[in-house]
Structure 1
């Protein structure tokens, strides 16, 4: 299979290029307007979304005489560059490409070349050898980092072009080719440039310029044509001046000829590039090149990106196999950067184009092999792949790796689709395919994350392929008609498929130890899926058969032990789970299993009380202070006596560094343990109801301060609270009590920060309504930092401080929460909760008689008259029995009629009458009781 060439873009938007030179890191461009542009090739640009490499302009300077440079040569051995411009040869230092002003500038130079053999380019002392052409002479100079010296000189006038092999220079004037031996200073005439014309003068000969290249180690190739012939001959000349072997025939006269190994590359005047094989003289390829004006052979191979290669092997993220792909996602920049690095093709042929620079590259044979695979010629494709491996030079080793990986992966997928699972697994191993691609073909593992990266050219094959059940059914149906037999065989084949998958995954895991999986940053996720799938397969196998394999599996390193634990839990394989925990020395997880057993989250056949004892004994045996702390608190919450017993024993046995008395203090001082401290404090105050005012005060103030901290630092919490307050204010009447409205968000809000804040707030509101006295002034000072937001808290605290007018003002005028205001008055100003039903203690009734008139008075201050009348009337009619008629009559506006308060007056008068009757009855009962006691006393005295 012969090599194909393709044109790739190197650099665009550079008009009127006069010459170009490059190596693996630098690109030097001369322009017709007399500029020299120095670019640095950036092969690793993770931010670039271009298929090509990035070229960074390092410098821009004027050429000598400000005329377009004719030739640029990079002299790597002396870290210099030679530039021929305006018949002047000057030198520049590398890598910065700055003028080497200390070196001699050579005038009257018509051309400059180097020998085509490396040993003649560089002297033993490391100097570079250049051959120059003046109007009358051929000169050979020696260039070092410090000096330029004349080495040899031979008379030869009118040189147009030349090529050098060792001491032999093949050169030409406009009319003829000649050969000069620099050592012997001898000249050998050859033949005319234009066939049959020793002195071609005239417009018809203007395009017939001489062309000379080094074809073989000891041969030159020259062009010779004639206006009378549409074709041009390429003649091979030995170092002795003899024409040898066959003749190349070009379809038109060349503009430029280069030699690349065993191929000649000719840019012809018909704007095509014609490629010949020198050994057979056959034309192998013709490439249209309408905008190419020149070809250049660079001093060193230049890295160029093969776009067709990228299109096939760029790694793109894959979705689960059975999800339909609606669109092809743009690859991530990192994937594109990686694809560029593995699509790097070295070329020494640069193309000068009308608007930039291109390159002629050897095109990969991957596309030809891919076509063979697509047409079902798997063996032919694999034979070509072996030949590709033999033919590819070491410089392209990385590209070869990915090409072979691509071929074997695709072959494996095609064999898999034919139900040839053994062959498929062999090629999967050779191609190092991402196991997730294969795992995704098994429906029983669809719950796993089988998203993977794959070569772009394989996407179609993967998307078109069926899952393993469909593959088995389709292939068996071609030969089996009986349904029962079909089902039986399907089960057997599926079992074989799973076994082959197990083999591949096992092999893949073993390669992990040698870092040969080749999946880079995705390795962790990959091996996590591999481990999970392999364990699932082993757990589905017969227990007797899988026991040793499971133990071997659990004895090896795992990428994600937590995933393995999850699978073992799913299968309730607690025996293997305990083995794994023991291997990993993960005592906390062991204790978590016991804890879940105690709480009933898992069932392991062990009684809850035994689980508590087991946890206590395990903690005492292990003797880890942190674990005893964590699970001791769990035991305190679950079984207080056992938890206390554990902590006391741990302290007595010096297993821990704390005492029982130190628990709260140490937790309070350690910020990392603050949440545990809060749990314990809440347990003491809320659950045990420890009658400790200091701790109660501390808990309330912690709640308040943390709420203020969240509101100060988290804009989402502030926005939510403001929005909820505004939302409540905008609710139409009748509306739920404000406390009910606030409480409902604690279980409905999904935002983490807001959820944490609401949980704190709910706790604070609950403890603010508790029966234990606390420092309400201190808490209020904290809350007032956000007086515009924390309204419920202010209401409760104002109530505790007997600032009832402030509380009622907030409820009536700000929130218009009249129901809560009534509840507040009913509970004597200490609670807003409907469920806190107090008894009618004398002090509570006294507070009601004080608060309901205040509420009535606040309602009268409402600006909306209809709302004022409705709410004031409601308070009078519902709670009038707690109000003094005289006080109310003083408060009632003058414009209110008697009818407007008639219901209150009737109720009040009835109450007064009832109270009078009650007083008379009580006096009568008292007199009767007195008479009865007097009678008893008389009997006793007698």
Structure 2
């Protein structure tokens, strides 16, 4: 398929006049804006005026014939050139250049004909303006002379300002700025008429090929080179484009960017300057020449003028894309970038890139396809719509891309080749994951998330499915809920509701799973998830709605609704409201009070008192059920004892009233001890609790960090209680032997019964004496160490008092790092100088 780069329309036709001999024959052509100038074989210049709404594609519009000028002789008009800035029309006929007014075609009397000219060029790049006049450069040459003349053309005069000598007679000529591109009888060369430098290019065969020399752009020339190659040469002699291969029968060639039009006897061939390939062939017979303009190209014949106008570049590129000629489309787009609005260029580049991506997509080159889709900013809905049962959610969406010729029907592929179809599904998931959240996907985030949810659900990908709906998403509730229910993904359904703010629906769904109304094996700890969700919610009404259900199912876990909340969310629920709510849930109430007292460090008497009474209630219930000694009951009793020992905020009377009628004798003793009645406390432990080890532990715990005398007093009291009962005599001996350091030997000897032998208490006596001697010796050691330290200080003072200390400028205090400016200072034991007020901080 050849590309249609130009459209053809007839611009003008000179109909023959049957009444008289008509010798009309077009020999040259020039155009500017709506003005066309024809030079004929018999020295006639004809002015044609195109309609104001001229459109070369509209054949119903024909030009209006304006003035004509007969120059006098029968010589043909070989060249025409308009200088719009001067309103001049330059005419070459009879080997001379004449200047006419471009509108009236009347000769300009001030500009005399320039004789002996074979061809000329107007150097538009050398246009100069000043406050007095506007001038352009005119270059004339004769095939009979080796001299090229430079003329400066103004409104009322032209002058030859320079003559340039060439190494050979010129045959053809093109000009850009100071550079002349010259063809002689056997070669081409470049000549800079200002610097005088010449660059030889390459030879040609004049007998076998026509000479072509024309400008091809800024500082670039098109030449008919050896081997029928169209050569592009810059003014510095460098070729920056590959040559174009054309026929030896070439008649003329012009550049109409980005194409080269080569005229041959039977047709006009259009080549691309981008890739040098033939793009279009226009059949033409008896064509004589070409004229390139900014709008297109004119082809003239003996009595007819045809117009070739550009097919819009956007249309050309879209045609190439439609036929999947992606590389060619990209090359053309790059070549015409400067001629397109930036917005159009970007959109076309995206279309081409995405088409290339779809070609790779259907070929199975998924990695390349993904890169091209991202680069081309493909609308993800274009890809989603290709998959069965994944139509875009927006009813107004219509695909804007051209369908690829070898496109696979994915619905049929799913039925015929499940493995290959799975690869296409994996690609879709990968692509959607990449573009999700980016600028490319933000405009259709609902389609992307819904498509991902469908894929994950149908493929059984629980991890990715839950990750999608657990995070903020744009899934369509109307589309996704039936799908999840169909596949029995009820836990995920709850997550979807939650992510969209429908918290009650979410928890109701999970409650039905927990209660067995829904079957969903994808999550085994739904109840814990409900509790965790409620602990994070700030919506009070939602939490209160499900709190009863959670606590009825498991108080120990359910209470986490209130105890596992973030610290900044603790004020969501008033503590008193929670305590009131938990009255019917004793275990939960106890756990919540523990949270208040131990975690939140509550200082309220009520909380500490309620916690103590809650412990009592729990222990009594365990004892009643025969579980008082198991791990749960025992742990609770340990907690109660710890609270009674450590807390000073509970109401002792209230707690004592709760414990008094019970068998919790150890706790009664602790309360008596907190009230200062240690004797009664020890009596309770010895005679009611009947646990002698607990009694000893009580003495040590009650003394705590107080004076040693209190410990002696408590142990002595316990000893007297033991001695008051004959049954506890052996316990008294054990008490003395195990706690010798806790007794004063003299006092114990006074209270011991006279009937006791020395041998019975010998172990206690030896231990007590050993402890006493040890204490005395340790006291002696400490006294000796203190004396040594004092002696060291005296020595240091003596040494310091005998030597001088120099206080230099800039010396700073070793403690505060400020300057020592006063004559008073302190020298530390390490020899460091400090301020007198800083000396107390040094060792």
TM score, norm. by length of structure 1 = 0.32
Greater fraction helix: 1
Larger radius of gyration: 2
Structure with larger RCO (C-alpha < 8 A, sep 6+): 1
